[in-house]
């Protein structure tokens, strides 16, 4: 729904609904997850059309990266939800004896989910699935930069859920700013680091906890033993899928000097294999979200550094798969996350040099390493910090519901996917259940001559 007035009544309506207790029950949560899955299946065509209009996504890419991911997440959650909700038994110490310790996962309340434009459907649904599973009410704010997908999401949610339970608020940053004036029980934001700072500042007056899924310059290290052909194929796929507009896309490549020329040759080969001689004509190559971002990308490219691609059409929002060589660490393209189909190639002498260069910059959301050498793998894993690592591939770590997805430092805080989504939107409440049949005098006053007994405590 498009909102121009204050969003406070929406938040209050959801708070009233949450306080009725209806969202807490397992059966209710199960029913809502199934309803969402059915709605996504039913609206596949409309979702695919909207993604094509907003980002030029092919049907295959829309299914692979947007709807299938969401449906798989729902199915995984339904399979495990009852176990996740069950109180978790924990050991207690002799101090509490006789007692039983439990951890209860309880819903937080009313949550706000602010989703981005680059994967506008999947990144709206993922947190929503976790919020439903945990028993919360949700206000979802999709990105206005993907208006067709935002509209489809709004229609899908309105047909599936009552607004006092889940509702969509569409609009620009003015609406977002109004939403952030309200007190929420959790805010989940996916987007840029700069906006993440603003979200965190807006949450501070209410002491609202936040999950920030941000980004950063995710490095890709090619080890000296890497098979260049397959390495280039996997780098090219991960970099240029969705027109390079992926938060965990390889942002730049570090390669030994001896492998640079072969790697460039293989990147050229695979770009041609994927998208043809003219990617502008490929039905499988996406478009930049808008003209502003197209121009931002153009300003990052030094024509003297272009070895592959470099051309484009601002009116068609087409930006060719582009590879740069001769790039320095102080060049504009290395200052911030590229978030587009531009891949700088840099060289390093030995692995310690590559690690030092990475560690001199903010912690990235992802790190990629291509090597079969276990010593090099352990060196990079132990000496760098990033939200996640994928060895000998790109992007694929995103699809594992058994592993948390999230950033560290400037690339974000908190994590989700699978059980980690459920935990993000739950409060883990400690519950101690004691018995009446034993009550020692030791802890009660007067304490005269009792200190000596404390040394026996564990």
- Tell me if residue 247 is catalytic: yes
Q: Say what angle helices 44-55 and 147-160 make with each other, to 10 degrees.
A: 160
Could you write out the DSSP letters of every residue in 195-218?
HHHHHHHHHGGGT--EEEE-----
- Alpha-carbon gap, residue 409 to 426, rounded angstroms: 23
Q: Residue written as tokens 């399979």? A: 79
Q: Residue written as tokens 């971002």? A: 293
Structure tokens belonging to residue 414: 């908190």
Q: Tell me the three state secondary structure of residue 389.
A: strand
For residue 352, with 0-12 CB atoms within 10 Å meaning exposed, 13-18 middle and 19 or more buried, which class applies?
exposed
- Tell me if residue 220 is catalytic: no
Of 73, 213, 337, 410, catalytic: 213
Residue 212 CA: distances (Å) to CA of 12, 141, 414: 24, 15, 7
Of 66, 73, 220, 247, catalytic: 247
Residue 242 CB coordination number (10 Å): 25
Say if strands 306-308 and 322-324 run parallel, antiparallel, or are unpaired: antiparallel
Residues taking part in catalysis: 213, 247
């Amino acid at each position: 729904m498009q909102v121009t007035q204050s969003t406070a009544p929406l938040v209050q309506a959801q708070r009233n609904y949450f306080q009725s207790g209806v969202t807490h029950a397992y059966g209710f949560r199960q029913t809502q997850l199934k309803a969402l899955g059915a709605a996504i299946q039913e609206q596949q065509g409309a979702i695919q059309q909207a993604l094509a209009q907003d980002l030029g996504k092919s049907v295959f890419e829309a299914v692979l990266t947007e709807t299938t991911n969401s449906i798989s997440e729902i199915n995984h959650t339904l399979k495990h939800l009852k176990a996740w909700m069950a109180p978790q038994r924990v050991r207690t110490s002799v101090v509490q004896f006789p007692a039983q310790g439990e951890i209860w996962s309880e819903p937080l309340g009313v949550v706000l989910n602010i989703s981005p434009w680059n994967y506008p459907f999947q990144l709206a649904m993922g947190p929503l699935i976790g919020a439903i599973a945990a028993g919360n009410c949700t206000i979802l704010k999709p990105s206005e930069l993907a208006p067709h997908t935002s509209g489809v999401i709004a229609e899908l949610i309105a047909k599936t859920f009552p607004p006092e339970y889940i509702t969509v608020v569409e609009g620009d940053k003015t609406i977002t700013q109004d939403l952030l004036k309200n007190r929420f029980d959790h805010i989940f934001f996916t987007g840029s680091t700069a906006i993440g700072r603003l979200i965190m500042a807006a949450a501070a007056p209410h002491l609202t906890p936040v999950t920030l899924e941000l980004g950063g310059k995710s490095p890709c290290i090619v080890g000296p033993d890497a098979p260049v052909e397959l390495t280039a194929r996997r780098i090219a796929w991960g970099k240029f899928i969705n027109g390079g507009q992926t938060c965990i896309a390889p942002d730049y490549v570090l390669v030994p000097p001896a492998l640079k020329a072969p790697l460039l040759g293989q990147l050229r080969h695979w770009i041609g294999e994927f998208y043809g001689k003219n990617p502008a004509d490929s039905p499988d190559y996406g478009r930049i979200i808008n003209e502003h971002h197209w121009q931002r990308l153009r300003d990052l490219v030094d024509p003297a550094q272009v070895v592959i691609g470099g051309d484009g059409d601002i009116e068609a929002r087409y930006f060719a798969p582009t590879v740069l060589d001769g790039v320095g660490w102080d060049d504009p393209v290395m200052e911030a996350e590229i978030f587009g189909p531009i891949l700088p190639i840099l060289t390093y002498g030995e692995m310690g040099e590559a690690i030092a260069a990475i560690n001199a910059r903010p912690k990235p959301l992802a790190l990629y390493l291509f090597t079969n050498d276990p010593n090099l793998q352990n060196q990079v894993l132990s000496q760098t910090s990033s939200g996640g690592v994928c060895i000998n591939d790109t992007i694929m770590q995103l699809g594992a519901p058994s592993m948390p997805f999230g950033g560290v430092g400037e690339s974000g805080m908190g994590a989700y996917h699978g059980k980690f989504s459920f935990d993000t939107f739950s409060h883990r409440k400690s519950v101690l259940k004691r018995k009446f049949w034993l009550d020692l005098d030791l802890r009660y006053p007067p304490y005269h001559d009792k200190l000596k007994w404390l040394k026996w405590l564990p």
